Amino acid sequence: MRKCLSVLKLLSGNLFSLVQCLLVKFGSMIGVPVNKFWASNVTHVIAATDSDGACTRTLKYLMAILNGKWVLTIDCESALVFDLITYRLNLSFHL
């Protein structure tokens, strides 16, 4: 399982600082780096969502879409390796 995780590179989207800290701790627990800035090796962007499950269209979000990367909700932490399709984002909104 560790070999599969070694290819993951997470990027935190528009997360609150407490949630971002939890994501970084989660990443270090499972051996997956969490970037603060966009890089070409990012595989997944973790984004905050509203009550409808939509996220804001940030630069990180748009870069993920343009580069064919996964955009996931923060709820994906517990199932990161097992069922990613359940946690992918389906909605976004423009501010």
The DSSP symbol for 8 reads -
**What averages of pLDDT result for each successive group of 10 residues across the chain (95 residues)?**
65 80 83 89 87 84 92 65 52 59
Report the candidate in 65, 72, 64, 79 with the shortest Cα–Cα distance to residue 26. Answer: 79
2-93 classified as CATH 3.30.230.10: no
pLDDT score for 93: 61
Give the separation between CA 73 and CA 14, rounded to whole angstroms: 11
Give the SS3 label for residue 35.
Answer: strand
C-alpha to C-alpha distance for 43 and 11, rounded to whole angstroms: 8
* Domains of the chain, residue spans: 2-93
Rounded-to-10 torsion of CA 39, 91, 24, 78: -130
